[in-house]
Amino acid sequence: MQFCEILTAHQVSVAGEQEGVVGTKADALLRLATLLAAGVGASRGSHDLAGEIERVLVERERLQSTGVGGGVAIPHGVLEAAERQVGAVLLCPRSIEFDAIDGEPVSILCAVIGPTRATGEHLKMLARISRLLRDPGFRRRLLSSPSGRLAFDMIVAEEGRGQL
């Protein structure tokens, strides 16, 4: 399964004037939780899913930062209410401190929430996202995207190249 298969264009956001500024790790996790809740809520009734997802992401960050280096973070977790894996992308042209492994700020955040029963699928998706974002040129192009829709299209095209 490709990352773009658990995303929609509506679950990709560019922080800034139109979408609202993201200045902190907490802001980023809240925005990602809201984006993820839209995907999870599509198949379930929404009962403060964003709040539940935010708690899961924050708890995971307390264990160890998901900032993997190179300006990338991959916040993730599991949620009983999730029937399938759901992804979200937040691009922050103004990098934010994220306690990343390399000590550098983060600009690209790809989040995944999945069902508690699908640990193997969850780990495979995290590896796929890691491979997708290993190319510095792709990261630069993605970060320069002016809209979530265009960023989503870039992800689809990059995965469609068949090199992942």
Question: What would the two tokens of residue 50 be?
Answer: 């964003």
Between CA 116 and CA 158 the distance in angstroms is 29
Given the structure tokens 């809740």, which residue do they identify? 37
DSSP-derived pairing of the beta strands 86-96 and 72-73: unpaired
Choose the catalytic residue: 10, 47, 76, 122.
76
CA gyration radius, the chain: 14
122 is catalytic: no
Q: Three-state SS across 86-144?
A: EEEEEEEEEEECCCCCCCCCEEEEEEEEECCCCHHHHHHHHHHHHHHCCCHHHHHHHHC
Catalytic positions, written as ranges? 76
